[in-house]
Structure 1
Amino acid sequence: MKRYFTIIVTFIIAFSGFSQSIFRPALAYNEHFCSEPEIVVYSTFINKFTSSKLRFVRISNILTSTWTSAYCDCELCRDVKTDTADFILPVGDSCTTSMHFYPANKKGLGSVQIKIFDTANASVFVIGEYRASCWGLSSSFMDMNDIKIYPNPSNSSLTVSFGSIEPYTLNVVTADGKLLMKTKVEGLNHKIDISSFAPGLYSIKIESGGKLFFTRFIKI
């Protein structure tokens, strides 16, 4: 049986004042085997504060039981017990930061929020939220012949034909991991309106009864 990680990271920019410091990308998505001991989520931080002397503070730490996490700022990778530390990044420079989630071979999820600010002015800050999840340790997959998606490519709509009448959860995701649609459907056929989607490659994930189905389509 195959096992997958879904790694999702979103960043929330919060301002008090006129800080233009940011985290990039806004969203990252990946899949790995659940046997991996570590899930790493990366982002680029750009310092637009007025000082190079910065501080990070872990302001939210929501983890499944037995999970732990550790943060790497622009200078050092901290241990799982470090919730705040100072670091240096010249004004205008950028660096790669990362959150390291350790799931201990247990399905679940993690969400950590990090606030970064100038040590001389804590009222101006930016917040990044890092998320990771393991969807299961023993996921099985639907038969490829059970589900049909057509036409592909398409410029207006897709039809999803299911092999049986039962509840399904259908997700549409962009190539960079942004969730565009999540809906529960029943019946043998379901039409998806993609007329407003930008041209490009998209993924569809379908879940039902603990089984998964993945495929891709092209919007033209």
Structure 2
Amino acid sequence: MATSKKTRQLTKAEIESIFARFSEIDPEPKGELEYLNAFTLLVAVVLSAQATDAGVNKATAKLFRVAPNPEAMVALGQDGIEEHIKTIGLYRNKAKNVFALSQKLIAEHGGEVPEGRADLEALPGVGRKTANVVLNTWFRQPTIAVDTHLFRVGNRTGLAPGETPLAVEQALIKRVPKSYLLNAHHWLILHGRYVCKARKPECWRCVIAEWCRFEPKTPAPKA
């Protein structure tokens, strides 16, 4: 995931302008994973590794109806979880983690999803990125989960050039204005997913193109 080209950072004023623009266009950005509560959000994020949100949502629609809490998930069993998520990549290992994290939530947290990063990252299948999503989306903490989309946007635009996801995350936490920090995670991921695409960024319809460091800008396709 390392970046091979150093990008000049944007100025403080430019960053302020970028997030003001995002906020103007989409004041309350939302993630695309579907969930019922903190537990199903956690499970959905664990399942989303190396999978699309749409694919996860399709698989969890029935799963969350029959197992909306850790107790029901454990009762379903690992084999039962596998049956529901077998359309998702790496489903066997993910089912193992979902079963194990459900057991641990019951044993150590009274069946509730913990609000602390250390407790979240101690759960099977939960790393820093997953913990950040849950902390931001459910607990409304100003965290930033750096996936491949956000890593690309941070480097390509000059918002937060960094060699690793952690470096990009830390730079964004430091540089994004506090008033925008809670929503920055969703704005940047959605921007990377639908506009600032990996192979061919759609610069001609980018709402922050005037500040972006990426060159040459991709021209609009010919009619």
Establish whether TM, by shorter chain, passes 0.5: no
With normalisation by structure 2, the TM-score equals 0.24
Greater strand share, structure number: 1
Question: Larger relative contact order (C-alpha < 8 A, sep ≥ 6)?
Answer: 2
Taking structure 1 as the reference length, the TM-score comes to 0.24
Q: Max radius of gyration: which structure? A: 1
